[in-house]
Copies of this chain bind each other. A is one copy, B any other.
């Protein structure tokens, strides 16, 4: 079993990072490590429901994640009402899997409870600034990541949807989010209809730093990644041909540069401030 897991880990990480990593076959938990290393997003699902009891179990597992100062600032909204899900999906173009997925969740950064604790216990709340918002958002990210692990452990597939923040006011209204609570990401969930594809990543030389950042040629690193990725997983279509035309070589850098050449979520800051967070 472990020999298989060692091979699965090395294959997945080699495909992902272009590096052959050492794996000690004597380590426990290699099956689990293989699932973590082999993570794939899934956007197509079998027509098989996710039982409500399983959904609740996965939420509990996810909410067992570490939480900044034990503040517990992530909530999970299970969107079982088809009309609500449809209304959320209507704000997002080109993501048919949001409506098609057997289950859909929203992870919420909830900073509502912290100032309430101060009021309940007769204390001043002296930390209404960026850190409070930051902690709640990062906590939600940790819980989201943990949920994906729990879901993949039992064989489910996921696709996080940050685009629910494209029109956060709509989601806010639909889910009746409290003051100081903002959506962080949605999550499509279901039993995968097929195998996933490993998404190649920047090399570990770019993203894992020993002690301190040093001078480096990021342009060359990104170029090498573009080329490694193009061999394994070339983009199937070029983004916004009307504006940018057909690029002779289209890699990650071109795709992301095109994506962020369109203004998006410029009102997110106003939304967050409008919900009662101070970002000073």
Contacts and interface: CB of A to CB of B under 8 A. Distances in A.
Nearest to A29: B153
Interface string A187-218: 00000000000010110101111111110001
A261 B124 contact: yes
Interface residues of A, number: 137
Contacts of A81: 211-212
Contact of A141 (B145, B175, B260): B145
A264 interface: yes
Interface string A94-127: 0000000000000010101110111011111111
Contacts of A141: 137-142, 144-145
A202 B73 CA distance: 10
Counted per complex, copies of this chain come to: 2
A92 interface: no
Interface of A: 9, 12-13, 16-17, 19, 21-24, 27-33, 35-39, 41, 51, 53-54, 56-57, 59-72, 74-81, 84, 108, 110, 112-114, 116-118, 120-127, 129-131, 134-135, 137-146, 148-150, 152-155, 158, 160, 162, 165, 174-178, 181, 184-185, 199, 201-202, 204, 206-214, 218-219, 222, 244, 252-254, 256-266, 268-269, 272, 279-280
19 contacts: A22-B56, A24-B53, A24-B54, A33-B150, A36-B150, A36-B153, A37-B64, A66-B145, A72-B202, A76-B207, A117-B253, A130-B269, A131-B265, A134-B268, A141-B144, A141-B145, A142-B144, A144-B145, A175-B212
